[in-house]
Structure 1
Amino acid sequence: MTRPLAKAVAVVTGGGTGIGRAVTLALARAGARAVVVTYRRSAAEAEATAAQVRSLGCEAMVEAADVADDAQVRRMAERVVENFGELDVLVNNAGTTRAVDHADLDGLTDEIWHEVLDTNLLGAFHCARAFAPALRASRGAIVNVASISGYRAGGSSIAYGVSKAALLQLTRNLAVALAPEVRVNAVAPGTVAATRWQPGLHGEEGFARRAAAEREVVPLRRTAEPEHVAQAVVGLLGMDLVTGEALILDGGKHVLY
């Protein structure tokens, strides 16, 4: 970024829990002036995260917005810019999934397709479009939170993997569309511990077994934490000449596929 991160105003969608919470707190610790935490359902968690942000000496604003709803996103963008006068950083972290076995094609209904794509793909586009004028004015940056499932045929469902693959392509397209003022990059985590997603999909014990087995073959022999993803997001925000790129965070597992 051409402006120091210490002076930044940032929006983190889905910023109250998991990876989003870690990113929100990392930005506050990096000295951001203000961080906006958005949520769809996790109001209490968003407020708790905002309180932590304020304890770090950073302004915080909590916004309810379903990123799948373009009208809600546009209204949120208006409130953010009206309140802070600018925006420097957008982290498109809000996402959803539904567990459907890849072989169960009939189980992957149109409803599930729309739910996943509307949030994971269109949601990121809605936010990028709504905040584009402010980001251009500040010569800011966007980081999209994708997934290793965007590169390979794995993950919780076909719809989820496709949504993340499309998000990676959206990252490249937006990097061109918003250049030269705005840089657009992505992070693509593999398995991430200490979030609600994996235990929700596999159960606490099931996830623990899967993570332990994975660590036996992952080159770095570690399972990523949300803070590792936040570290990558903050790193990309500081890379002035990098745009249209995606950084995989899976301890090196992808090099073995």
Structure 2
Amino acid sequence: MNSSNRPIALVTGAATGVGKACAIQFAKLGYGVIVNYSRSEAEAKQTAKEIESLNIPLMLCQADVSDEKQVLSMLNQIENEHGRLDCLVNNAATTEFIEHANLEAMNEDAWDRILGVNLKGPWFVTRAAAKLLADGEGGSVVNVSSVAGFTGAGSCIAYCASKGGLNTMTKSLARALGPKIRVNAVCPGPIDSRWIREGNPNWDLDEMVANYPIPQPSQPDDIADAVLFFATGTKLTTGQLLAVDGGQMLT
């Protein structure tokens, strides 16, 4: 087992979007970064290239977070290579863009996949990482959730349900893992990213946010700012859900 004084952060779904922004922000703070991805290998390698340009050690780990065996293998790799883990960002997620009223289109396969990645995934990764996170001075878990978990409005019913469950699980894990490990969640509103623009090209982001108090979609770095705050900028905050939504929930 290799030990190091450099803190280590694991970001799931770090190939693109919010996950990539988080990974790069951790690297700029001097953290060694584990870039997890499932299918986006080319994009993950590009993220790795940008981190390497900062002269920061990193590890690329391909693992589907909804598969517990793959998660356990990933955490074993991290322990063997680094011997520590200081921050975990559960960012990996998936969805389908299905009208809520179209109940038949929300089939069992789609339901199981969305809840498998978005809800079971953070559970599997957090449970597997808990021992490493608790070692030393303790660690931090930040779940990337969504305001859909509050409002019930989002890309599909299963997505909203998965994020509502993740919000509740954040609080449960904060109780279970304290005081050594803090657990919080960032809940974005609409993000100007490939997730929406390619997932449903018919959605007009500018129109979506037009009546918000801050009438603009967030950028991935806006969400990463909040993630890094929970991970590194506070010592007494746990079990909290922070909406970064331009005031969406006020409307």
- Say whether the fold is shared (TM-score over 0.5): yes
Amino acid at match of 1:212: D
Aligned counterparts of 2:190 and 2:71: Cα–Cα separation in 1 = 29
Runs of 4+ residues deviating >6 angstroms: none
* 2:236 corresponds to 1:241: yes
* 2:78 corresponds to 1:80: yes
* 2:216 corresponds to 1:216: no
Q: Is contact 2:97–2:200 with CA below 8 Å preserved after alignment?
A: no
Aligned counterparts of 2:210 and 2:156: Cα–Cα separation in 1 = 24
Aligned counterparts of 1:174 and 1:104: Cα–Cα separation in 2 = 34
Counterpart for residue 97 of structure 2: 99
Q: Secondary structure at the match of 2:103?
A: coil
1:49-93 deviation line (CA, Å, top 9, x unaligned): 011111112111100100000000001000011101100000000
Shift of 1:7: 3.6
1:161-190 deviation line (CA, Å, top 9, x unaligned): 000000001100100111110000000000
Aligned counterparts of 2:68 and 2:163: Cα–Cα separation in 1 = 19
* 2:131 corresponds to 1:133: yes
Give the unaligned 5+ runs of structure 2.
Answer: none
Shift of 1:221: 2.3
Q: Is contact 2:8–2:84 with CA below 8 Å preserved after alignment?
A: yes
Percent identity between matched residues is: 38
Counterpart for residue 221 of structure 2: 227
1:176-208 deviation line (CA, Å, top 9, x unaligned): 111110000000000000x221012321xx34x
Shift of 1:113: 1.0
1:131-154 deviation line (CA, Å, top 9, x unaligned): 000001130000000001001121
